Amino acid sequence: MPVTLEPPSLGLLPHYADALRRGWSADNVRGKVAADEELQRIAADPQAFVDSLDNPNGGGPPVMRLDGSLGTRLPSIRRWIWDGGFCGAIGLRWGPGGGPLPDWFPYGHIGYAVPAWRRGAGYATQGLALLKPEARLRGLDHVELTTDADNPASQRVVIKNGGYLVAREPGGTLHVDAEILRWRIDL
Ligand SMILES: CC(C)(COP(=O)(O)OP(=O)(O)OC[C@H]1O[C@@H](n2cnc3c(N)ncnc32)[C@H](O)[C@@H]1OP(=O)(O)O)[C@@H](O)C(=O)NCCC(=O)NCCS
Protein backbone atom coordinates (compact mmCIF):
# COMPACT_ATOMS: atom_id res chain seq x y z
CA MET A 1 0.00 0.00 0.00
CA PRO A 2 1.52 3.40 -0.94
CA VAL A 3 2.22 5.89 1.82
CA THR A 4 0.00 8.97 1.73
CA LEU A 5 -0.62 12.02 3.87
CA GLU A 6 -4.24 12.19 4.97
CA PRO A 7 -5.98 15.25 6.43
CA PRO A 8 -7.40 14.39 9.85
CA SER A 9 -10.98 13.15 9.52
CA LEU A 10 -13.67 11.48 11.58
CA GLY A 11 -13.26 8.35 9.44
CA LEU A 12 -9.59 7.91 10.35
CA LEU A 13 -9.91 9.20 13.91
CA PRO A 14 -10.39 5.74 15.53
CA HIS A 15 -6.96 4.70 14.20
CA TYR A 16 -5.37 7.85 15.63
CA ALA A 17 -7.13 7.36 18.98
CA ASP A 18 -5.95 3.74 19.07
CA ALA A 19 -2.33 4.92 18.79
CA LEU A 20 -2.95 7.38 21.65
CA ARG A 21 -4.38 4.57 23.78
CA ARG A 22 -1.26 2.54 23.11
CA GLY A 23 0.81 5.33 24.65
CA TRP A 24 1.97 7.21 21.56
CA SER A 25 1.69 10.99 21.28
CA ALA A 26 2.51 13.49 18.56
CA ASP A 27 3.73 15.74 21.37
CA ASN A 28 7.37 14.71 21.79
CA VAL A 29 7.77 16.76 24.97
CA ARG A 30 4.58 16.06 26.97
CA GLY A 31 4.09 12.46 25.81
CA LYS A 32 1.40 10.47 27.64
CA VAL A 33 -0.01 13.55 29.40
CA ALA A 34 -0.73 15.09 25.99
CA ALA A 35 -2.11 11.76 24.68
CA ASP A 36 -4.55 11.51 27.60
CA GLU A 37 -5.67 15.11 27.09
CA GLU A 38 -6.34 14.42 23.42
CA LEU A 39 -8.33 11.26 24.26
CA GLN A 40 -10.53 13.34 26.57
CA ARG A 41 -11.10 15.93 23.85
CA ILE A 42 -11.92 13.19 21.32
CA ALA A 43 -14.44 11.63 23.72
CA ALA A 44 -16.06 15.03 24.39
CA ASP A 45 -16.39 16.20 20.76
CA PRO A 46 -14.65 14.20 18.00
CA GLN A 47 -15.54 16.67 15.22
CA ALA A 48 -14.21 19.65 17.19
CA PHE A 49 -11.00 17.71 17.83
CA VAL A 50 -10.53 16.93 14.13
CA ASP A 51 -11.31 20.53 13.19
CA SER A 52 -8.75 21.83 15.69
CA LEU A 53 -5.85 20.05 14.00
CA ASP A 54 -5.90 22.08 10.79
CA ASN A 55 -5.64 25.83 11.17
CA PRO A 56 -4.37 27.14 7.82
CA ASN A 57 -5.46 30.71 8.48
CA GLY A 58 -4.02 30.91 12.00
CA GLY A 59 -5.84 32.55 14.87
CA GLY A 60 -8.04 30.84 17.43
CA PRO A 61 -7.05 30.35 21.07
CA PRO A 62 -3.70 32.01 21.89
CA VAL A 63 -0.60 29.91 22.51
CA MET A 64 1.72 30.26 25.48
CA ARG A 65 5.18 31.43 24.46
CA LEU A 66 8.32 30.16 26.16
CA ASP A 67 8.43 33.29 28.33
CA GLY A 68 4.88 32.62 29.57
CA SER A 69 3.23 35.41 27.57
CA LEU A 70 0.41 34.67 25.14
CA GLY A 71 1.03 34.74 21.40
CA THR A 72 -1.14 34.55 18.30
CA ARG A 73 -1.53 30.99 17.02
CA LEU A 74 0.45 30.43 13.80
CA PRO A 75 -1.17 29.07 10.64
CA SER A 76 -0.66 25.30 10.50
CA ILE A 77 -1.79 22.03 8.99
CA ARG A 78 -1.55 18.51 10.35
CA ARG A 79 -1.44 15.36 8.27
CA TRP A 80 -1.63 11.71 9.27
CA ILE A 81 0.91 9.38 7.64
CA TRP A 82 -1.13 6.51 6.28
CA ASP A 83 -0.43 3.19 4.55
CA GLY A 84 -3.89 1.69 5.04
CA GLY A 85 -3.26 2.08 8.79
CA PHE A 86 -2.04 4.91 10.98
CA CYS A 87 1.76 5.38 10.74
CA GLY A 88 2.37 8.76 12.36
CA ALA A 89 1.66 12.49 12.35
CA ILE A 90 3.43 15.37 10.67
CA GLY A 91 2.68 19.06 11.00
CA LEU A 92 3.62 22.21 9.12
CA ARG A 93 3.40 25.73 10.55
CA TRP A 94 4.47 28.97 8.95
CA GLY A 95 4.66 32.69 9.58
CA PRO A 96 1.54 34.85 9.28
CA GLY A 97 0.95 35.89 5.66
CA GLY A 98 3.57 33.39 4.42
CA GLY A 99 6.41 35.29 6.12
CA PRO A 100 9.18 33.80 8.27
CA LEU A 101 8.46 32.13 11.58
CA PRO A 102 8.52 34.66 14.42
CA ASP A 103 11.54 34.70 16.75
CA TRP A 104 9.45 33.52 19.71
CA PHE A 105 8.73 30.22 17.91
CA PRO A 106 12.11 28.40 17.77
CA TYR A 107 10.96 24.91 16.69
CA GLY A 108 11.01 25.22 12.90
CA HIS A 109 8.33 24.69 10.28
CA ILE A 110 7.84 20.93 10.54
CA GLY A 111 7.47 18.39 13.33
CA TYR A 112 6.73 14.67 13.13
CA ALA A 113 6.33 11.57 15.25
CA VAL A 114 5.92 7.88 14.40
CA PRO A 115 4.62 5.31 16.93
CA ALA A 116 7.34 3.05 18.31
CA TRP A 117 5.77 -0.03 16.68
CA ARG A 118 5.96 1.63 13.21
CA ARG A 119 9.50 3.00 13.33
CA GLY A 120 12.38 2.07 11.03
CA ALA A 121 10.16 1.48 8.00
CA GLY A 122 10.67 4.83 6.29
CA TYR A 123 7.36 6.44 7.32
CA ALA A 124 8.82 9.69 8.68
CA THR A 125 11.12 10.02 5.66
CA GLN A 126 8.24 9.51 3.24
CA GLY A 127 5.93 11.73 5.27
CA LEU A 128 8.41 14.61 5.14
CA ALA A 129 8.96 14.09 1.39
CA LEU A 130 5.19 14.28 0.84
CA LEU A 131 4.81 17.39 3.00
CA LYS A 132 7.38 19.45 1.06
CA PRO A 133 4.96 20.19 -1.86
CA GLU A 134 2.36 21.32 0.72
CA ALA A 135 4.91 23.81 2.07
CA ARG A 136 5.66 25.06 -1.44
CA LEU A 137 1.92 25.50 -2.04
CA ARG A 138 1.86 27.87 0.92
CA GLY A 139 4.56 30.05 -0.59
CA LEU A 140 7.58 28.76 1.35
CA ASP A 141 10.87 28.46 -0.54
CA HIS A 142 12.57 26.62 2.33
CA VAL A 143 11.69 25.03 5.64
CA GLU A 144 13.66 24.86 8.87
CA LEU A 145 13.51 21.91 11.24
CA THR A 146 15.07 21.36 14.64
CA THR A 147 16.25 18.07 16.10
CA ASP A 148 17.93 17.20 19.36
CA ALA A 149 21.65 16.55 18.80
CA ASP A 150 21.06 13.10 20.36
CA ASN A 151 18.21 12.15 17.99
CA PRO A 152 20.04 10.49 15.08
CA ALA A 153 16.86 8.93 13.67
CA SER A 154 15.24 12.34 13.19
CA GLN A 155 18.47 13.75 11.75
CA ARG A 156 18.54 10.93 9.17
CA VAL A 157 14.95 11.76 8.19
CA VAL A 158 15.98 15.38 7.51
CA ILE A 159 19.20 14.48 5.69
CA LYS A 160 17.41 11.97 3.46
CA ASN A 161 15.10 14.84 2.48
CA GLY A 162 17.95 17.10 1.40
CA GLY A 163 18.37 18.86 4.74
CA TYR A 164 21.60 20.55 5.72
CA LEU A 165 22.78 21.83 9.08
CA VAL A 166 22.63 25.60 9.61
CA ALA A 167 23.16 26.05 13.37
CA ARG A 168 23.83 24.39 16.71
CA GLU A 169 21.88 25.99 19.55
CA PRO A 170 21.46 25.51 23.29
CA GLY A 171 18.28 23.65 24.21
CA GLY A 172 16.29 26.39 25.92
CA THR A 173 13.34 26.01 28.26
CA LEU A 174 11.85 22.77 26.96
CA HIS A 175 15.08 20.86 26.31
CA VAL A 176 17.21 22.22 29.10
CA ASP A 177 20.32 20.05 28.75
CA ALA A 178 19.98 19.25 25.06
CA GLU A 179 21.89 20.69 22.16
CA ILE A 180 19.53 21.55 19.30
CA LEU A 181 20.50 21.21 15.66
CA ARG A 182 18.79 23.55 13.22
CA TRP A 183 18.37 22.23 9.66
CA ARG A 184 17.24 23.78 6.41
CA ILE A 185 15.63 22.15 3.39
CA ASP A 186 15.41 24.25 0.23
CA LEU A 187 12.15 23.64 -1.59
C1 LIG B 1 12.35 10.31 14.56
C2 LIG B 1 11.21 9.40 14.06
C3 LIG B 1 10.06 10.29 13.62
C4 LIG B 1 11.71 8.57 12.89
O5 LIG B 1 10.60 7.88 12.36
P6 LIG B 1 10.80 6.59 11.39
O7 LIG B 1 9.56 6.40 10.63
O8 LIG B 1 11.29 5.47 12.19
O9 LIG B 1 11.96 7.14 10.44
P10 LIG B 1 12.48 6.46 9.09
O11 LIG B 1 12.21 5.00 9.16
O12 LIG B 1 11.90 7.23 7.95
O13 LIG B 1 14.04 6.78 9.12
C14 LIG B 1 14.75 6.58 10.30
C15 LIG B 1 16.23 6.64 9.97
O16 LIG B 1 16.93 6.78 11.20
C17 LIG B 1 17.83 5.70 11.33
N18 LIG B 1 17.95 5.40 12.74
C19 LIG B 1 17.02 4.94 13.57
N20 LIG B 1 17.52 4.82 14.82
C21 LIG B 1 18.81 5.24 14.74
C22 LIG B 1 19.88 5.37 15.68
N23 LIG B 1 19.69 5.06 16.96
N24 LIG B 1 21.05 5.81 15.23
C25 LIG B 1 21.23 6.16 13.94
N26 LIG B 1 20.26 6.08 12.99
C27 LIG B 1 19.07 5.62 13.42
C28 LIG B 1 17.22 4.58 10.53
O29 LIG B 1 18.19 3.61 10.20
C30 LIG B 1 16.72 5.36 9.33
O31 LIG B 1 17.78 5.74 8.48
P32 LIG B 1 18.20 4.90 7.16
O33 LIG B 1 16.97 4.85 6.29
O34 LIG B 1 19.31 5.68 6.57
O35 LIG B 1 18.59 3.54 7.65
C36 LIG B 1 10.73 8.44 15.18
O37 LIG B 1 11.84 7.77 15.72
C38 LIG B 1 10.00 9.16 16.30
O39 LIG B 1 8.81 9.39 16.22
N40 LIG B 1 10.72 9.50 17.38
C41 LIG B 1 10.12 10.20 18.50
C42 LIG B 1 9.65 11.58 18.10
C43 LIG B 1 10.75 12.39 17.44
O44 LIG B 1 11.92 12.31 17.80
N45 LIG B 1 10.33 13.23 16.48
C46 LIG B 1 11.22 14.11 15.78
C47 LIG B 1 11.43 15.35 16.59
S48 LIG B 1 12.65 16.39 15.83
Residue 172 has pLDDT above 70, yes or no: no
Of all residues in the chain, the percent with pLDDT exceeding 90 is 78
Mean pLDDT in the chain? 93
Task: Identify the CA nearest to 116 among candidates 90, 87, 148, 80.
Answer: 87
pLDDT tens, position by position, 80-89: 999 999 999 9
CA gap 173, 153 in Å, rounded: 23
Using the 8-state DSSP alphabet, how is residue 70 labeled? E
Residue 174 has pLDDT above 90, yes or no: no
pLDDT tens, position by position, 32-48: 999 999 999 999 999 99
Q: Three-state SS for 43?
A: helix
Report, as an integer, the average pLDDT of 64-82: 89
What pLDDT score does 170 carry?
A: 85
Q: Of the residues 24, 114, 158, 165, which should be mutated to test ligand 1's pocket, given the most ligand atoms within 8 Å of the CB?
A: 114
Other CB atoms within a 10 A radius of the CB of residue 25 amount to 20
What pLDDT score does 173 carry?
A: 60
The pLDDT-based confidence of 176 (bands split at 50, 70, 90) is low
pLDDT tens, position by position, 91-104: 999 998 778 898 88
> Quick one: CA torsion of 14, 26, 88, 11, rounded to 10 degrees?
20
What pLDDT score does 81 carry?
A: 98
Q: Which domains does the chain have, with CATH numbers?
A: 4-140 (3.40.630)
CA gap 28, 59 in Å, rounded: 23
Q: Of the residues 125, 143, 155, 165, which should be mutated to test ligand 1's pocket, given the most ligand atoms within 8 Å of the CB?
A: 125
